[in-house]
């Protein structure tokens, strides 16, 4: 018997992007520089010397891009707001033209029947705030709440879904510990302090929303399920550390009001031992949690590995994407059921899921064939459906990403889009995955069944 994959009515189908990755024109209309503007213009930081100066030129082409969303039948679009467009110095003076861009984008979405889902912080901190210590400064939580209030006042009448932060782990691990993303620090002692200030900021943003907002607010985590390489106690302990560091370091304070005990082992003397009274207020009622899923890791104890004393075991026989990530759809199901088991019944959205593949430059019938991406989406959407069948309160799915875009320090070479972007001409071409996703949406998931 052919399995059926019908998703419930009201399940929200979307696609996601973020400001610095697609907008371009980073200093237009009075915007201040962000830390990504600085980082991308620092020699040696970006693959191929790429920057977000032009990106997908979405800042000027947003109307056309909304038509691409419409062609997919998207019901919702998840985007992020560039803080330094709205507040060029990060605090104080509002730049009306910067705010107006998001107001126009939201109007355009609504005029096309697409629900706006706005993320307040997707990594592009105003450079002026970095000059004041950035996320190391305890005032950052207040800066963030003040910025959030400006957005709530301007757009909550039209934006029904908000998220405070996108993937705080990347900011901490890439931005402050390994220096691979902005602001490019490498400092073990900074990392847990940044975690704490990010989680304080998220909590302050949610509190501000309770006073001003009328709809829903949540926070977005990237969760990478960790599986032990064997039953050996050392591997199981290593897996727990890896999970605490990447996943629970953020979800626990936000949803339970405490940090996982393994973080003491991980950070050693760099762990600040936050008092309970510091941690409890990090837990604020959220209306939903957004989960970004790309891959999993199989973990083995390895004393030689710095920090975690754990190593990811490559799964040689399994398919991988262009970013080297194993394709493992079971991980999405495990993540969703595991998240509910640990944190209880909170409405969940998959706020990002997708894959980079080198798309062949072959256009057949106006479509660019990307069978690997179609396969990736099909597998993961089936896993999402299985989670619904297992009783998870999953409310929607956002594909990453609408367009090929700037994959941060990996530059433009890693393509995640449903639409191919020619970065010389800015021409957008639908990939076969765009057509496939449109069919899935139109059929409420029925198109996931194999032909």
Name the minimum Å distance from CB 414 to ligand BGC: 8
Instruction: Report if residue 224 touches ligand BGC, rule: CB under 6 A.
Output: no
Name the minimum Å distance from CB 368 to ligand BGC: 20
111-150 mask for ligand BGC (x: CB under 6 A)? Answer: ----------------------------------------
Q: How far apart (Å, rounded) are the C-alpha atoms in residues 250 and 256?
A: 10
Among 117, 164, 222, 353, binds ligand BGC (CB under 6 A): 222
Find the part of the chain contacting ligand BGC (CB under 6 A) among 85-93, 164-172, 277-285, 337-345.
164-172
DSSP character at residue 136: G
Burial of 2 (0-12, 13-18, 19+ CB in 10 A): exposed
Q: How far apart (Å, rounded) are the C-alpha atoms in residues 321 and 21?
A: 20
What does the angle CA 405 – CA 409 – CA 414 come to, to the nearest 5 degrees? 45
The answer to whether the peptide bond before residue 110 is cis (omega within 30 degrees of 0) is no
Residue at token pair 């710095």:
306
- Name the β-bridge partners of 163: 119, 218
Residue 352 among the catalytic residues: yes
SS3 12: strand
Q: How far apart (Å, rounded) are the C-alpha atoms in residues 248 and 291?
A: 13
Query: If binding means CB under 6 A, how many residues of this protein chain bind ligand BGC?
Result: 11
Instruction: Report if residue 352 touches ligand BGC, rule: CB under 6 A.
Output: yes
Choice between 334 and 352, CB closer to ligand BGC: 352
DSSP 326-338: B--THHHHHHHHH
Interaction residues for ligand BGC, span 277-336 (CB under 6 A): 292
Helices (H) and strands (E) counted in the chain, each on its own, are 16, 15
- The catalytically annotated residue of 167, 262, 326, 329 is 167
Contact between 430 and 418 under an 8 Å Cβ cutoff? The reply is yes
Encoded tokens for 389: 């069948």
Contact between 241 and 226 under an 8 Å Cβ cutoff? The reply is no
Choice between 28 and 170, CB closer to ligand BGC: 170
Choice between 5 and 416, CB closer to ligand BGC: 416
Choice between 284 and 292, CB closer to ligand BGC: 292
Choice between 130 and 224, CB closer to ligand BGC: 224
What does the angle CA 232 – CA 178 – CA 263 come to, to the nearest 5 degrees? 45
- The catalytically annotated residue of 23, 190, 329, 352 is 352
Contact between 449 and 3 under an 8 Å Cβ cutoff? The reply is yes
Q: How far apart (Å, rounded) are the C-alpha atoms in residues 68 and 22?
A: 14
Q: How far apart (Å, rounded) are the C-alpha atoms in residues 80 and 103?
A: 13
Name the minimum Å distance from CB 356 to ligand BGC: 7
Among 18, 117, 321, 353, binds ligand BGC (CB under 6 A): 18
Instruction: Report if residue 167 touches ligand BGC, rule: CB under 6 A.
Output: yes
Find the part of the chain contacting ligand BGC (CB under 6 A) among 3-11, 163-171, 242-250, 438-446.
163-171
Name the minimum Å distance from CB 391 to ligand BGC: 27
398-427 mask for ligand BGC (x: CB under 6 A)? Answer: --x------x--------x-----------
Choice between 57 and 352, CB closer to ligand BGC: 352
Contact between 214 and 156 under an 8 Å Cβ cutoff? The reply is yes
Name the minimum Å distance from CB 120 to ligand BGC: 14
Among 136, 170, 234, 346, binds ligand BGC (CB under 6 A): 170
- The side-by-side arrangement of strands in the sheet containing 226-228 is 226-228, 297-301, 310-312
DSSP character at residue 411: G
Among 117, 164, 166, 247, binds ligand BGC (CB under 6 A): 166
SS3 39: helix
Choice between 136 and 170, CB closer to ligand BGC: 170
Q: How far apart (Å, rounded) are the C-alpha atoms in residues 332 and 334?
A: 5
Name the minimum Å distance from CB 2 to ligand BGC: 33
**Radius of gyration of the chain measured on its C-alpha atoms:** 21
Residue in 217, 184, 204, 182 with CA at minimum distance from that of residue 26: 182
Name the minimum Å distance from CB 20 to ligand BGC: 9
Residue 224 among the catalytic residues: no
Choice between 35 and 229, CB closer to ligand BGC: 35
Name the minimum Å distance from CB 413 to ligand BGC: 13
Find the part of the chain contacting ligand BGC (CB under 6 A) among 40-48, 165-173, 178-186, 330-338.
165-173
Which amino acids are annotated catalytic?
Answer: 167, 352
Q: Using CB under 6 A as the criterion, which residues of the chain lie in contact with ligand BGC when the complex forms?
A: 18, 21, 166-167, 170, 222, 292, 352, 400, 407, 416
């Amino acid at each position: 018997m052919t399995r059926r994959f019908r998703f419930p009515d009201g399940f929200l189908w979307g696609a996601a992007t973020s400001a610095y990755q697609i907008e371009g024109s980073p200093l237009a209309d009075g915007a201040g520089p962000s830390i990504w503007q600085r980082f991308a213009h620092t020699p040696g930081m970006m693959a191929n010397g790429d920057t977000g100066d032009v990106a997908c030129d979405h800042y000027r082409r947003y109307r056309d891009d909304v038509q691409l969303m419409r062609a997919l039948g998207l019901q919702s679009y998840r985007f992020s707001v560039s803080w330094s467009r709205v507040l060029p110095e990060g605090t104080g003076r509002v730049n009306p033209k910067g705010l107006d861009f998001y107001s126009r984008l939201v109007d355009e979405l609504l005029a096309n029947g697409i629900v706006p889902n706005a993320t307040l912080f997707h990594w592009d901190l105003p450079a002026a705030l970095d000059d004041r210590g950035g996320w190391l400064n305890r005032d950052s939580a207040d800066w963030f709440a003040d910025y959030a209030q400006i957005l709530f006042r301007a757009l909550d009448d039209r934006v029904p879904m908000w998220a405070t932060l996108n993937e705080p782990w990347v900011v901490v691990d890439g931005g402050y510990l390994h220096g691979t993303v902005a602001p490019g620090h490498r400092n073990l002692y900074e990392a847990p302090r940044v975690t704490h200030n990010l989680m304080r900021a998220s909590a302050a943003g949610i509190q501000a929303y309770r006073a001003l907002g009328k709809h829903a607010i949540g926070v977005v985590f990237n969760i990478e399920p960790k599986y032990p390489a064997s039953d050996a106690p050392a591997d199981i302990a290593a897996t727990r550390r890896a999970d605490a560091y990447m996943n629970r370091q953020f979800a626990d304070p936000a949803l339970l009001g405490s940090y996982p005990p393994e973080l003491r082992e991980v950070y050693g003397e760099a762990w600040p031992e936050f008092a309970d009274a510091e941690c409890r207020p990090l837990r604020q009622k959220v209306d939903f949690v957004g989960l970004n899923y790309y891959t999993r890791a199989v973990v083995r104890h390895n004393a030689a590995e710095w920090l975690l004393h754990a190593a990811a075991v490559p799964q040689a026989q399994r398919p991988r994407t262009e970013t080297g990530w194993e394709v493992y759809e079971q991980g999405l199901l495990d993540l969703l059921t595991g998240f509910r088991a640990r944190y209880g019944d909170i409405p969940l959205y998959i706020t990002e899921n997708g894959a980079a593949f080198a798309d062949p430059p072959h256009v057949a019938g106006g479509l660019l064939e990307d069978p690997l991406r179609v396969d990736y989406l099909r597998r993961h959407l089936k896993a999402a459906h299985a989670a619904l069948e297992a009783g998870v309160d999953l409310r929607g799915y956002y594909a990453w990403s609408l367009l090929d875009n700037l994959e941060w320090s990996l530059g433009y070479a890693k393509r995640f889009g449903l639409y191919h972007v020619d970065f010389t001409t800015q021409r957008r071409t639908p990939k076969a995955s765009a057509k496939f996703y449109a069919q899935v949406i139109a059929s409420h998931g029925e198109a996931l069944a194999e032909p």
